[in-house]
């Protein structure tokens, strides 16, 4: 009897420890997702500011000497500004490498988190290779503001980069991706907050996921339309 009781107590204790580890790990993942939300917001803000500066610099190619000096300085600061911060994924990597993920019964949470991190890593890869790398390569090494605009316009690669990145089509595609990123992260945070309190069929959860994403994006786009 004593042996059975001991085994029972040990099993309960192990379950308690496992639940505590799971909770602690998921709290870290949730915090990381919040950090990544801010990271993407900063990326969006930076791209909008860059786009505005690029367009103004291209428009000023024939009359830039008439621009106020502080305006020229603002354009130059946007040109040389680089974002070297990276997406935060350490908590997710720890979670993946632990045995916690294998024991979790909440399959939707694991599936959605996996999709979420795959998606945001792809977007980060795009921003790094298609934006920041190209922006860095487009820098014109001319410190004199009086000569900078002429040097810029004589650099075909730089002009091409500025033209592409400030175009309405490119801007529309990437900027409209940010509300989707935000919605995906928000849904995963919602799942983490509700973890362990529900069990639904995955088909039902797929419908809920799609409805949540669509409603979130519609809300953001509606706000933008209202502001305009």
pLDDT in tens, 137-163: 888 887 776 677 788 888 888 888 888
44 has pLDDT over 70 = yes
pLDDT band at 226 (very low <50, low <70, confident <90, very high): very low
Alpha-carbon distances of 178 from 43, 123, 138, 187, 216, rounded to whole Å: 9, 9, 24, 14, 11
Q: What is the pLDDT of residues 14-25, one digit of tens each?
A: 554 566 777 888
Res. 120 pLDDT band, cuts 50 70 90 = very high
At residue 18, the pLDDT reads 64
Are 174 and 122 contacting, i.e. CB atoms less than 8 angstroms apart?
Answer: no
pTM of the model: 0.79
Counting residues of the chain whose pLDDT is more than 70, the rounded percentage is 81
The token pair at 52 is 């505005």
* pLDDT exceeds 60 at position 12: no
Q: CB 170: neighbour CB atoms within 10 A?
A: 16
pLDDT for 171: 63
Pairwise CA distance, residues 33 & 24, whole Å: 15
Hey, which bits of 29-188 come out as E strands? none
Range in 113-117, 185-189, 193-197, 207-211 with the lowest mean pLDDT:
193-197
Q: How many CB atoms lie within 10 A of CB 224?
A: 12
| DSSP per-residue letters across 85-126 | -----HHHHHHHHSSHHHH---HHHHHHHHHHHHHHHHHHHH
User: Can you read off the two tokens belonging to residue 163?
Assistant: 């033209």
Q: Say if residue 210 is exposed, middle or buried (CB neighbours under 10 Å; 0-12, 13-18, 19+).
A: exposed
């Amino acid at each position: 009897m004593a042996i059975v009781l001991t085994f029972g107590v040990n099993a309960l204790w192990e379950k308690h420890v496992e639940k505590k580890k799971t909770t602690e790990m998921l709290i870290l993942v949730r915090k990381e997702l919040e950090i990544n939300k801010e990271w993407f917001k900063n990326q969006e803000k930076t791209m909008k500011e860059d786009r505005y500066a690029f367009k103004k610099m291209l428009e000023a190619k024939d009359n830039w000497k008439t621009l106020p000096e502080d305006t020229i300085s603002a354009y130059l600061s946007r040109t040389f500004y680089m974002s070297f911060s990276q997406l935060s994924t350490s908590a997710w990597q720890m979670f993946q490498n632990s045995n916690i993920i294998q024991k979790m019964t909440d399959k939707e949470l694991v599936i959605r988190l996996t999709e979420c991190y795959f998606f945001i890593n792809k977007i980060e890869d795009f921003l790094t290779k298609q934006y920041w790398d190209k922006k860095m390569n487009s820098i014109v090494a001319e410190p004199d503001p009086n000569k900078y605009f002429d040097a810029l316009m004589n650099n075909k690669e730089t002009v091409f980069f500025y033209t592409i990145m400030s175009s309405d089509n490119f801007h529309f595609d990437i900027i409209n991706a940010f509300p989707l990123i935000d919605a995906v992260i928000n849904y995963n945070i919602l799942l983490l907050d509700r973890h362990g309190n529900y069990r639904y069929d995955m088909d039902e959860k797929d419908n809920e996921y799609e409805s949540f994403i669509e409603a979130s994006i519609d809300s953001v786009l509606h706000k933008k339309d209202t502001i305009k």
